[in-house]
Chain A
């Protein structure tokens, strides 16, 4: 179609990337296929399921309904940026210990949503957790163990048992 391209410069997980892209390139395809960060998944491509969630400038965004050019100058954190030195962070660890993932396809989106949520609400009630998760869809777990994992992660992070 169009051969028009635009220059994009952004920071992902602390590293600066510069690319020339078509204006219509979605941010999720940019992350996955231009940068090779394939942990962010596409579940619906219409902004409903939350599998493609990343944190951009401190807020969660759905990268399947965001263009790469909209991320010009942004600071982005993806699932690949959660573990430190290869070790699971407290949220990832809680998902592991509570069997909060099965096929694992939706998991990166949940992790990013929970990252933002626990940052804003370190001591949530079960009802608050369920509301926070309601924008992410999972077909495997029935959310039972995801809710448990979020509660466990919140407790652990509050108690400071693990350094963040």
Chain B
């Protein structure tokens, strides 16, 4: 039975407490924090070659510039820090070592070869230009195909085939079922490498507190505790002497869920020179060196019954991981993200996959909102559209025949879906979008007013809130998986909540206050949430992978339960009642059914902190605080249906998104306004991946898209109006019934938009198997299709 929840602060569109300072220009992003006087500024000399031996580095001219304090090479820094090493010694993994500043070879355009230290950032830029490095260029590999070709240059001498990570699995009986099915379909899908391009790039300030011998480290990160642990491990300074602070963070989307080499260098220099060092990245450097994502290929083979029922799926997945594995997610994150997400909302028992992470001379890749899932569902839903067309079925009908509609359900990867609403979301989305009527009136030519017009429907799942066991199982040993909350009812009766999650715009200060308020019977405005500072918040994983609501929610529920019980015991003593008869609401503890017999939380706090005439009841500890951790048993699955309507201009190849409908289910909703915002933003990220975003390396490994003029983010003109509804099917396995919401919008938008273009161009016999669908590419497909016809 689904649990029902009491009404209260949870479920309200409470306006954000974050907004006021941000709207007044009083936010505190890393570069807004005033560093100590005499802080020195770092500049990083990046390799202009994709693959090259470093023959010599002449720093003398740079050192002579007024205002330059020092110039350091890899050899100067190698003894200050351990190499970055992530992956476990486990079958399938190959361990890579990355030096923050490379010594022997540069392995991508952007690999660091020297560091300058200067009095201000302008002089640091001058000095970077003045460092003379002599390189011996080596043959570079950029693409998956080139890296896997026989005799390809090796990125790392100790990895012969450039395959950093490999995983292959097959369900029992797969071959017989696959062979026996009457229909087989094979397609290969490819998605372009893309950039996170958070509006704030990366940056950090490392401050050595000379008196205390401690390091205060401000950094634009999603994972302050993971950064602290990594700095301690790699630099040899005890973690108890390191304080990492993630202040306001201007977007992260997974890219900032990593420790970066520049952070290690800044911290190492602060410790060595007992001073303060600052680095703020510019946009070009962000494109060159901040983790990229989704440079992937999926070869999909489907075995299908005569009725269109999926019997078996085989997938061969390749992920371009770039030059190095990144800390803490390593080389397997995207490679395993593909198969992990692939079963999605569909019911089939036989699954075989091979997935490989392939090294190349390009920037490392990693997490970006949805990790692999948007590309995975581009492929999965691409297959569904293709199969429907080949079998002469409506694409929605094919999906309906294969949807998981009975819960709990265990998918072909062994993952359990406790609850869900795949069928309900689909039905409602079709209703809202007028799908049936649209199909009925749609011309076979798809031409309307001179443009090809089409509709795309995607039914998707989002894996959210993974716990420790899931990360261990996947070999991601460096990700703790749990999170924590320390809650205090302060002596005044007001509440402080210290939560191990760290936000980058998700509105945690508001939503956590709603959960705390609900659980302690106070109003959200009485709750202050503190986050992002390892000196005050308990150890935990941080914010990524759609885990905030589940992990922080669970930890808050557990911690507030301990406090509530204590409040009840103290109230029982004051009111001379039994603790089991006490309820807590509206800022009071009262005897159930006798609301006049009550005591204010502020009075209970006074007693607990011994600031009242009354003594705390015998046997009770002083104070009114509790810490709790939450580790969900597995992952929890959200689901959605996205419907997109597009128009393709045959004269230009430009695509316009004319309408967009989404029906979404992320379990129990904490703040509907914020959930809407998460889905809106994620859809825009998906729209970018489908229509315009591509990081392009030329054959020699030069990145040709290093500004926002070359790399096209969606603008207000590109985004449609979005019609959205929510279903609420609470999880039965998470505390509070929450499911995650951060990534689902991208996961649905990519296949829905691609599907709409596929539908629009279907009369031309065009298959949509590659992203992005930028105007030149679309135009070339249309022209090729027309040429084929006239020949």
B25, A24: Cβ atoms closer than 8 Å: no
CB distance from A100 to the nearest CB of B (A): 9
Q: A99-B674, A134-B716 are in contact. Are A79 and B24 (CB under 8 A)?
A: yes
A105 CA to B680 CA in the complex, in Å? Answer: 17
Could you give, for residues 668-685 of chain B, a 1 whenever the CB lies within 8 Å of some chain A CB and a 0 otherwise?
A: 000001101100111111
A1, B65: Cβ atoms closer than 8 Å: yes
Q: Does A141 contact B (CB under 8 A)?
A: yes
B126, A102: Cβ atoms closer than 8 Å: no
A37, B25: Cβ atoms closer than 8 Å: yes
Name the CB-closest residue of A to B121: A29
Could you give, for residues 34-62 of chain A, a 1 whenever the CB lies within 8 Å of some chain B CB and a 0 otherwise?
A: 00111111111110110100000000000
A37 CA to B26 CA in the complex, in Å? Answer: 9
A103 CA to B196 CA in the complex, in Å? Answer: 14
Q: A43-B199, A133-B715, A134-B717 are in contact. Are A101 and B23 (CB under 8 A)?
A: yes
A38, B681: Cβ atoms closer than 8 Å: no
A4 CA to B635 CA in the complex, in Å? Answer: 61
Chain A residues, Cβ within 8 Å of B681: 102, 139-142
Chain A count of residues within 8 A CB distance of the other chain: 58
**B713 in complex: contacting residue of A101, A137, A144, CB < 8 Å:** A137
CB distance from A22 to the nearest CB of B (A): 7
Q: Does A7 contact B (CB under 8 A)?
A: no
Could you give, for residues 651-671 of chain B, a 1 whenever the CB lies within 8 Å of some chain A CB and a 0 otherwise?
A: 000000000000000000000
Chain A residues, Cβ within 8 Å of B197: 139
Q: Does B18 contact A (CB under 8 A)?
A: yes
Q: Does B55 contact A (CB under 8 A)?
A: no
Q: Does A153 contact B (CB under 8 A)?
A: no
Chain A residues, Cβ within 8 Å of B32: 32, 38
A1 CA to B32 CA in the complex, in Å? Answer: 26
A105, B250: Cβ atoms closer than 8 Å: yes
Chain B residues, Cβ within 8 Å of A37: 25
B709, A24: Cβ atoms closer than 8 Å: no
B684, A142: Cβ atoms closer than 8 Å: yes
Could you give, for residues 714-755 of chain B, a 1 whenever the CB lies within 8 Å of some chain A CB and a 0 otherwise?
A: 111101011000000000000000000000000000000000
A88 CA to B716 CA in the complex, in Å? Answer: 24
B29, A41: Cβ atoms closer than 8 Å: yes
Q: A39-B27, A137-B199, A139-B713 are in contact. Are A107 and B22 (CB under 8 A)?
A: yes
Q: Does A19 contact B (CB under 8 A)?
A: no
B685, A144: Cβ atoms closer than 8 Å: no
Q: Which of B266-297 contact A (CB under 8 A)?
A: 282-284
Name the CB-closest residue of B to A142: B684
Q: Does A72 contact B (CB under 8 A)?
A: no
A22 CA to B199 CA in the complex, in Å? Answer: 27
Chain A residues, Cβ within 8 Å of B66: 1, 3
Chain A residues, Cβ within 8 Å of B680: 141-142, 144-145
**B26 in complex: contacting residue of A39, A95, A103, A135, CB < 8 Å:** A39
Q: A80-B25, A108-B25, A137-B199 are in contact. Are A96 and B19 (CB under 8 A)?
A: yes
Chain B count of residues within 8 A CB distance of the other chain: 59
Q: Does B708 contact A (CB under 8 A)?
A: yes
A107 CA to B505 CA in the complex, in Å? Answer: 12
CB distance from B248 to the nearest CB of A (A): 7
Chain B residues, Cβ within 8 Å of A67: none
B199, A105: Cβ atoms closer than 8 Å: yes
Q: Does A122 contact B (CB under 8 A)?
A: no
B25, A147: Cβ atoms closer than 8 Å: no
Choose among A95, A133, A138, A147 the residue with the greatest number of B CB atoms under 10 Å from its CB.
Answer: A138
**A106 in complex: contacting residue of B199, B248, B282, B714, CB < 8 Å:** B199
A38, B31: Cβ atoms closer than 8 Å: yes
Choose among B19, B23, B65, B197 the residue with the greatest number of A CB atoms under 10 Å from its CB.
Answer: B23
A164 CA to B464 CA in the complex, in Å? Answer: 45
Q: Which of B5-59 contact A (CB under 8 A)?
A: 15-16, 18-20, 22-27, 29, 31-32, 34
Name the CB-closest residue of B to A37: B25
A51 CA to B31 CA in the complex, in Å? Answer: 14
**A95 in complex: contacting residue of B23, B505, B674, CB < 8 Å:** B23
Choose among B18, B253, B683, B719 the residue with the greatest number of A CB atoms under 10 Å from its CB.
Answer: B719
Chain A residues, Cβ within 8 Å of B248: 103-105
Q: A1-B123, A46-B283, A143-B684 are in contact. Are A105 and B251 (CB under 8 A)?
A: yes
Q: Does A157 contact B (CB under 8 A)?
A: no
A88, B31: Cβ atoms closer than 8 Å: no
A143 CA to B721 CA in the complex, in Å? Answer: 9
Q: Does A83 contact B (CB under 8 A)?
A: yes
Q: Does B402 contact A (CB under 8 A)?
A: no
B199, A49: Cβ atoms closer than 8 Å: yes
Q: Does B407 contact A (CB under 8 A)?
A: no
Chain A residues, Cβ within 8 Å of B507: 102
Q: Does A97 contact B (CB under 8 A)?
A: yes
B24, A139: Cβ atoms closer than 8 Å: no
Chain A residues, Cβ within 8 Å of B284: 46
Q: Does B249 contact A (CB under 8 A)?
A: yes
**B23 in complex: contacting residue of A1, A36, A96, A139, CB < 8 Å:** A96
Q: A48-B707, A142-B683 are in contact. Are A103 and B24 (CB under 8 A)?
A: no
Choose among B18, B677, B709 the residue with the greatest number of A CB atoms under 10 Å from its CB.
Answer: B677
A39, B717: Cβ atoms closer than 8 Å: no
A79, B25: Cβ atoms closer than 8 Å: yes
B250, A103: Cβ atoms closer than 8 Å: yes
Q: Does A68 contact B (CB under 8 A)?
A: no
Chain B residues, Cβ within 8 Å of A1: 65-66, 122-123, 126
Q: A40-B25, A137-B708, A140-B681 are in contact. Are A101 and B19 (CB under 8 A)?
A: yes
**A24 in complex: contacting residue of B34, B122, B504, B677, CB < 8 Å:** B122
A137 CA to B199 CA in the complex, in Å? Answer: 8
CB distance from B502 to the nearest CB of A (A): 12
B25, A39: Cβ atoms closer than 8 Å: yes
**A139 in complex: contacting residue of B506, B685, B707, B722, CB < 8 Å:** B685
CB distance from A23 to the nearest CB of B (A): 11
A140 CA to B677 CA in the complex, in Å? Answer: 8
CB distance from A63 to the nearest CB of B (A): 13
Chain B residues, Cβ within 8 Å of A49: 199, 283, 708
Could you give, for residues 425-464 of chain B, a 1 whenever the CB lies within 8 Å of some chain A CB and a 0 otherwise?
A: 0000000000000000000000000000000000000000
A25 CA to B121 CA in the complex, in Å? Answer: 11
A96 CA to B20 CA in the complex, in Å? Answer: 8
Q: A38-B31, A104-B248, A142-B684 are in contact. Are A44 and B707 (CB under 8 A)?
A: yes
Choose among A41, A108, A134 the residue with the greatest number of B CB atoms under 10 Å from its CB.
Answer: A41
A142, B15: Cβ atoms closer than 8 Å: no
CB distance from B67 to the nearest CB of A (A): 8
A38 CA to B722 CA in the complex, in Å? Answer: 34
Q: Does A154 contact B (CB under 8 A)?
A: no
CB distance from A105 to the nearest CB of B (A): 3
Q: A95-B19, A134-B716 are in contact. Are A46 and B707 (CB under 8 A)?
A: yes
Q: Does A76 contact B (CB under 8 A)?
A: no
A145 CA to B249 CA in the complex, in Å? Answer: 20
A88, B251: Cβ atoms closer than 8 Å: no
Chain B residues, Cβ within 8 Å of A131: 716-717
Q: Does B418 contact A (CB under 8 A)?
A: no
Chain B residues, Cβ within 8 Å of A38: 25, 29, 31-32
Q: Does B200 contact A (CB under 8 A)?
A: yes
Q: Does A92 contact B (CB under 8 A)?
A: yes
Could you give, for residues 1-34 of chain A, a 1 whenever the CB lies within 8 Å of some chain B CB and a 0 otherwise?
A: 1010000000000000000001011000000100
Chain A residues, Cβ within 8 Å of B692: none
A135 CA to B708 CA in the complex, in Å? Answer: 11
CB distance from A62 to the nearest CB of B (A): 12
A-B contact pairs, 5 of them (CB 8 A): A32-B32, A45-B283, A103-B198, A139-B199, A140-B505
Closest 4 CB pairs of A and B: A39-B25, A105-B250, A103-B505, A104-B22
Sample of 5 more A-B contacts, CB < 8 Å, known A43-B199, A43-B283, A131-B716: A45-B282, A82-B23, A103-B199, A105-B251, A142-B687
**Chain A residues at the B interface, C-beta cutoff of 8 Å:** 1, 3, 22, 24-25, 32, 36-46, 48-49, 51, 78-80, 82-83, 88, 92, 95-97, 99, 101-108, 111, 129-131, 133-147
